Amino acid sequence: MDLYQVLCIILGVICVFIIIMFIFINHKYTKTLKGFRDREVDAVRAKKGVRYTIDQTVVDENGEMNVSFGSSDIVLKQNVTETVGKKNRVWAGKYTLLSTRDEDETFNLRIGKYVKEYKHNQTIVLSEGQEITAVNCDVILR
């Protein structure tokens, strides 16, 4: 075997390795994208890079949770404390609490000093100066 044959074998092995890696990566991302497609809702409007659900019902006709995000909704990130006030994101007033995940029908919020369990579609009233924190998952205030 001369040098040319050795280089062809090495190049062939590298090509086979690249093809196998491409197939593996393609399979992985196809599964991930299929999971995203299963979670998508039908009526969605995108505005400035944010997807808003047109259907704003909180519970569907079967009585199951309907996770939706509207243009006036506020997302409370997990373990990030928000203070209620006119100059802040959360203003004083009455809010409906919505879960951000279908599998979490209940979640914990810290309002003031105390942590309490709340349910999807439960209402709360926040007053000026209160602090609110989503404890175990992200929560939507509507």
- Residue ranges of domains in the chain: 71-141
103 three-state secondary structure = coil
Asked: is 71-141 a CATH 2.60.120 domain? The reply is yes
Instruction: Provide the token pair at 37.
Output: 């497609």
Of 62, 127, 12, 115, give the one whose Cα is nearest residue 139.
115
Predicted TM-score (pTM) of the model is 0.57
Confidence label for 50 from pLDDT (cuts 50, 70 and 90): low
Residue-level pLDDT at 117 = 92
Strand positions, DSSP E, 1-142 = 44-47, 50-53, 74-76, 81-83, 93-99, 106-111, 114-119, 122-126, 131-134, 139-141
Residue with structure tokens 């203003």?
91
Of 71, 44, 66, 74, give the one whose Cα is nearest residue 139.
74
61 three-state secondary structure = coil
Phi-psi region of 49 (alpha: psi -120 to 50; beta: other; left: phi over 0): left
How far apart, in whole angstroms, are the C-alpha atoms of residue 68 and residue 140?
A: 9
Task: Quick: pLDDT tens for 76-127.
Answer: 888 999 998 888 888 888 888 888 777 778 889 999 889 999 988 888 888 8
Would you say residue 6 has pLDDT above 80? yes
